[in-house]
Structures are given as structure tokens and as C-alpha cells.
Amino acid sequence: MAFNSSIQCSPSSHEMIKKYDVFVSFRGKDTRNNFTDHFFAALHRKGILAFRDDTKLNKGQRILSNLMQAIEGSQIFVVVFSKNYASSTWCLRELQKILDFVNVSRKHVLPVFYDVDPSEVRKQTGDYEKAMSKHEEKSREDKEKMEEVKRWRGALTQVANLAGWDMRNK
């Protein structure tokens, strides 16, 4: 997979990157008020510094720049796949950025499958197929966007093939 040069940093900018133990990617409307809230609370109790994009970015901040700094400054990545994760362009772009960084930094990704079958994510069936088909439909006339959707499909498959945590019916 090609490395996106936008996430490289110079030695001087690297020193300014805030360090996080964990970066968590999740679909807020699916998991914010249940699993991820409990997960962040447990990490906090253990003294683990976790980046949460819905609380750490201040209004008006350059979101993409700050998000990239948070990704670069994280040691491990937890991706919480849920029913609507793939319907979010933001989540898919975030996943792609994480994977681009992980592929060159040799850091680790832990997938969590919250109320979704890992094979549905891996093979993009069910809700994931519906969501990805909608992205393709919206991008049909734009070759660059179609390539992006293709990369998202690959990223979903790659991360879903990793050993992770299946939270269905738990």
C-alpha cells in the first residue's frame, strides 16, 4: 500500500507532536454512549492516555492537521467497527490514514467488532456492502474518488484480517 506523504513529519515538527498511548477510531452514533465511553473510562483509570477525536479537538482547530498529529503521536490504534462505521466517510478516511501510518511505522492495530460480524467487515457484506456501494455510487463520475473507495475496501479487509476482539452479544 502506498504511503501518503502528508503524514510524514520533519524532526522539528515531530518533537511537537503530542504523544498518546492509544488512538481510538469509532463511529460516535453507534458506540459513543456505551462501549467507547466505558473503554475510554477504563483506559483513563489505568493511566493510559487515549486520543478521542470527539473531545480532544477544539472548535476552529485545523481538524485534519491535528488528527494527523494525533495519529503520528500514538503508539497503538484501536478501531471499533460497528454497524454504521463504513457509512461514515470520516471514519473510512481516518482508517486509511491510520493504516498508511501503521504500514510504515510498524505500530499495531487492534480491531474491535462491536455488534458486527468480523467477516461482514472483512468481506464487506450486509451493512458494510450497503455502505460501500453508496460510496461507490456517489463517486461513480470521479475516478479519484473511486480509487479512494477502493483503498477503503482494502483497508477494511486488511484491518479485519488482524486478530481482534469480537464484542457481539457481550
133 close to 101: Cβ distance less than 8 angstroms: no
Nearest CA among 143, 93, 104, 132 for reference residue 5: 104
Say which residue the cell 467477516 belongs to. Answer: 119
Taking the C-alpha atoms of residue 98 and residue 59, their distance in angstroms, rounded to an integer, is 22
Of the candidates 15, 72, 94, 148, the residue annotated as catalytic is 94
Whether 94 is a known active-site residue: answer yes
Nearest CA among 128, 154, 151 for reference residue 139: 151
Taking the C-alpha atoms of residue 142 and residue 136, their distance in angstroms, rounded to an integer, is 10
Residue numbers annotated as active site? 94
